[in-house]
Structure 1
Amino acid sequence: MRIQVAAWQEMYGSVLPGPVLAELTGDEAGERFREQWLASVERPPTSRHRLLVATDERAVVGFAAIGPAEDADRWPGTDAEVYALHVHPDHPRRGHGSRLLNAAVDHLLDDGFHAVYVWVLETGNPLRDFLEAAGWRPDGARRELDMGARVAMVRLHAAISR
């Protein structure tokens, strides 16, 4: 949960009004995140939903949440989604993101998926830059989230195979 809060502060800090960001990352939000993560780990929606973690000296420093694609224009039988991929901002450029992404793809292939999608901020950000450097590309889908300010997002995709 602390990783998600720190990642959100870094990712959304420049696009959200201060009070909204404080609400998303405050103690109350942290408790909501903790409850949501605990429920998702104890009772995943399907056997194809996974939570992967990256560790550094026995401390969890990153995570990836993956599973069947949830967008109406995707086929959940063969299309997967990365719901979240975050590394704590205090642990950048140490390979944690790459290992998480590789492990996610391995699990998705084992589960029979052929393509994977992820929503990222439209404006440049480290996650989008990282994924595009790994070969992911926009598929033309866009959306705007109302998070106290309009936040433009694009969907990236990659074909996966062994």
Structure 2
Amino acid sequence: MAIAAVRPAADSDVDEIVRIQADTWRVAYAGIVPPEALEQLRGDQARAAWADAVAAGAGSGAESYWVFVAGEGEWTVGFCAAARYAGREDRDIAEISALVVEPRWARRGHGGRLLAAAAEALRAAGSERGRAWVPETDAATRGFYARAGWAPDGAVRTLDTGVRTVREVRCSGPLDLVLTGS
């Protein structure tokens, strides 16, 4: 059996992060996100944005950023991006901005390990609760967060993809995670 692990992302992981996001979103969000927007996930701008995120490292002060990758054996199978930053009224915001595991590697605990690593980093930075925005129609991701003790908190937003809008719900919960089920 291959060893599964999560570690901070390095510059050498950027191409895999871009590939995993583009390939996974192409399948998971077909019909939700227009093909033109999905294709941009493979572009130079997407690669530059991920390179910047990985290079930002943990940061310091009021804003901190992390990108983690999950591996199984020699394969990179998923990634998670998290940030802590100052919000309105000096309340900190701890957010999971992306958590993606390739479907062929799903149900092996990679998503839970990624979320746990991000939660640990966010807690170490001083946060107690986290949040993530999820397309309202993405029952699988909402179920994943529910198993971690996170639930929709009533906030919604609508994103304009240029072709249609996507309604997202905000899931939030404690960063002292208790992952249950698979």
| Fold conserved between structures, TM > 0.5 | yes
Residue 97 to residue 36, structure 1, CA distance change in 2 (3 Å): same
The answer to whether the Cα contact below 8 Å between 1:50 and 1:65 also exists between their aligned partners in 2 is yes
- Alignment partner of 2:104: what SS? coil
User: How much has 1:71 moved relative to structure 2?
Assistant: 6.2
Q: Flag the 1:28–1:65 CA change in 2: closer, same or farther, 3 A.
A: closer
Once the two structures are superposed, residues 50-102 of structure 1 have per-residue CA deviations (whole angstroms, 9 ceiling, x without a partner) of 001100122211011001157658822xx300010000122111111011111
**Stretch of structure 1 that moved more, 58-67 or 28-37:** 28-37
1:1-80 correspondence runs (5 A): 1-16=18-33, 20-21=34-35, 23-26=36-39, 29-44=42-57, 46-47=59-60, 48-69=64-85, 72=88, 75-76=91-92, 79-80=93-94
Letter paired with 2:170:
R
Amino acid across the alignment from 1:8: W
- CA shift digits 1:97-153 (9 cap, x unpaired): 011111111111111111101000112432111111221111111011111211110
Q: 2:149 touches 2:174 (CA, 8 Å); kept in 1?
A: no
SS of the equivalent of 2:114 reads helix
* Contact 1:83-1:118 at 8 Å conserved across structures: yes
Matches within 5 A, 1:6-155: 6-16=23-33, 20-21=34-35, 23-26=36-39, 29-44=42-57, 46-47=59-60, 48-69=64-85, 72=88, 75-76=91-92, 79-147=93-161, 148-155=163-170
Is contact 2:94-2:130 (8 Å) kept? yes
- 1:30, distance to aligned residue in structure 2 (A): 3.3
Q: State the one-letter code of the partner of 1:127.
A: T
TM-score (norm 2): 0.76
Between 7-16 and 151-160, report the one with greater CA deviation: 7-16
Distance in 2, matches of 1:152 and 1:8, equals 16
Superposed CA offset, 1:14-72 (max 9, x none): 323xxx32x23337743322111112222358332100110012221101100115765
Q: CA RMSD in A?
A: 2.3
**Which 5+ residue runs of structure 2 have no aligned equivalent?**
1-17, 178-182
- Which sections of structure 1, spanning at least 5 residues, go unmatched? none
Please list every run of at least 4 consecutive aligned residues from structure 1 whose deviation after the TM superposition is greater than 6 angstroms. Answer: none
| Aligned sequence identity (%) | 35
